[in-house]
């Protein structure tokens, strides 16, 4: 099996982890809506713990993914896109991968500075390690808000690019990310 991306194709690991991350993110956002609507405190806490677990999985997968992205070739683009678009889309993709490492750290740091651990299902938790500090929490929360807004803008651009390639340019960019073998 091809373990690393090369100039001609993504590795199956990249393809699987790309969609694992996209689905984990969707699950985290859906859980956030469910947490807001939970009718009991016990129900709310078990959803929070599940969301924390998804965040931990996302974080661990993203460390590998970011490393793999910056240490392997990005396959050549499908078709003949404008080089500026290629540079922008690749920079956005790397920034998205990095954000999935940094944003979970910011959530953990914010909770730690508030004196809370990050609870997980089964009574486990990620220790706080940082001192309780209201000023630190405020700084981390501002950084998180800026990072999360930039991330959402980048993600919107990324998804727009994928849909434009698929529906407007009618090329195999999206199908390649879904595992289709594309000859370049």
Residues that bind ligand HEM in the complex, under the rule CB under 6 A: 14, 18, 21-22, 25, 69, 77, 93, 96-97, 100, 155, 158-159, 162, 173-174, 176-177
In the complex with ligand HEM, the residue whose CB is nearer, 107 or 177, is: 177
In the complex with ligand HEM, the residue whose CB is nearer, 108 or 151, is: 151
The Cα–Cα gap between 32 and 41 comes to 14
**Could you write out the DSSP letters of every residue in 86-135?**
HHHHHHHHHHHHHHHHHHHHHHHHHHHHTT--EE-GGG-EE---SPP-HH
Shortest gap between Cβ of 23 and ligand HEM (angstroms)? Answer: 9
Shortest gap between Cβ of 130 and ligand HEM (angstroms)? Answer: 25
The Cα–Cα gap between 129 and 86 comes to 41
Other beta carbons within 10 Å of 173: 19
Using the structure block, give the residue that is written with the tokens 């677990």. 53
In the complex with ligand HEM, the residue whose CB is nearer, 92 or 143, is: 92
In the complex with ligand HEM, the residue whose CB is nearer, 100 or 106, is: 100
The two structure tokens encoding residue 68: 């793999």
Shortest gap between Cβ of 114 and ligand HEM (angstroms)? Answer: 26
Shortest gap between Cβ of 45 and ligand HEM (angstroms)? Answer: 27
Angle between the N-to-C axes of helices 41-71 and 12-37, in degrees from 0 to 180, rounded to the nearest 10: 160
């Amino acid at each position: 099996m091809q373990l690393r991306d090369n100039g001609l194709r993504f590795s199956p690991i990249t393809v699987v982890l790309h969609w694992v991350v996209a689905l984990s993110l969707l699950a985290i956002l859906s859980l956030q809506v469910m947490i807001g609507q939970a009718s009991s405190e016990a129900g709310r806490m078990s959803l929070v713990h599940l969301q924390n677990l998804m965040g931990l999985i996302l974080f661990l997968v993203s460390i590998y993914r970011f490393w793999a992205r910056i240490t392997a070739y990005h396959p050549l683009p499908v078709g003949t896109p404008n080089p500026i678009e290629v540079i922008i889309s690749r920079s956005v993709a790397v920034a998205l991968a990095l954000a999935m490492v940094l944003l979970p750290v910011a959530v953990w740091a914010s909770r730690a500075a508030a004196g809370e651990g990050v609870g997980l299902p089964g009574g486990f938790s990620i220790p706080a390690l940082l001192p309780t500090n209201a000023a630190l929490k405020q700084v981390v929360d501002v950084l998180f808000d800026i990072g999360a807004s930039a991330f959402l803008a980048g993600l919107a651009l990324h998804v727009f690019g994928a849909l434009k390639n698929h529906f407007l340019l009618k090329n195999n960019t999206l199908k390649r990310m879904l595992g289709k073998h594309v000859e370049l």
